[in-house]
Amino acid sequence: MRLDVIIRVSIKVLLPFILMFGLYVQFHGDYGPGGGFQAGVVAAATVILYAIIFGLAPTKRIIPPLMVEIMIPLGVLIFAGVGVVGLLVGESYLNYSVLAHDQIHGQEWGIFLVEAGVFVTVAGTMVAIFYAFTGRGRS
């Protein structure tokens, strides 16, 4: 662990930017390339990179496995819940136009919330899978 000081320092510099890029991809997905799937994977890649460089135990202190496992169903619930809101107002399922005062804003809110749900599920699943594979010792 002494020899990889360059890797550790450079990763420490890079990680915030990677996470920032993930969030940019998430919130800018309406206008440029990107969206929940990509952002979720990039965010998960940040965690995975941190775990590769600094070890699994410190990573699990920052992102506990329980939180990751809660994130997996939470995203699906957000997604499905957005649909149910449309149902409650009297429109069809997953019709976002009712979420705000007019159609354009409603669609924008709907897409935002749905992408957030996708982000949470994808990031949670990827990190959970990574934890599951690496947490298991060689048999």
Partner 1 sequence: MVLLTLMAAVVIGIVRVRNLFSVVVLGGIYSFLMATVMLVLDAVDVAMTEAAVGAGVSTVLMLSVLYLTKTEEHVPQHTPIVPLFVAIVTGAVLVYGTIDKPAFGIADTPMHNHVGARYLEQSIPETGVPNVVTSVLASYRGFDTLGETTVIFTAGIGVLLLMKRRSRKVDRSSDEEQG
Partner 2 sequence: MNLVQEILAHYNHWITIFLMVAGLYVVVARGNMVKKLVGLSIFQTSVYLLYLSPGKILGGTPPIIGEGYSGYANPLPHVLILTAIVVGVATLSLGLALVVRINEAYGTIEEDEIFETEEQFQPGEDE
Residues in contact with partner 2 by the rule CB under 8 A: 31-33, 35, 37, 41, 122, 125-126, 129, 132-133, 136, 139
Neighbours of 79 (CB within 10 A): 19
In the numeric block, the tokens 């915030």 are attached to 16
Residue 72 binds partner 1 (CB under 8 A) = yes
Q: Cα 77 vs. chain centroid, distance in angstroms?
A: 14
In the numeric block, the tokens 């890649």 are attached to 45
Of the two residues 44 and 98, which places its CB atom closer to partner 2 in the complex? 44
Give the residue from 15, 31, 32, 30 showing the smallest Cα distance to 111.
30
Burial (0-12, 13-18, 19+ Cβ within 10 Å), 119: buried
Q: Which does 29 bind (CB under 5 to 8 A by kind): partner 1, partner 2, none?
A: partner 1
Positions in the binding site for partner 1 (CB under 8 A):
25, 29-38, 41-42, 44-45, 48, 52, 69, 72-73, 75-76, 79-80, 83, 93-94, 96, 103-105, 107-108, 110-111, 114-115, 117-118, 121-122, 124-126, 128-130, 132-136, 138-139
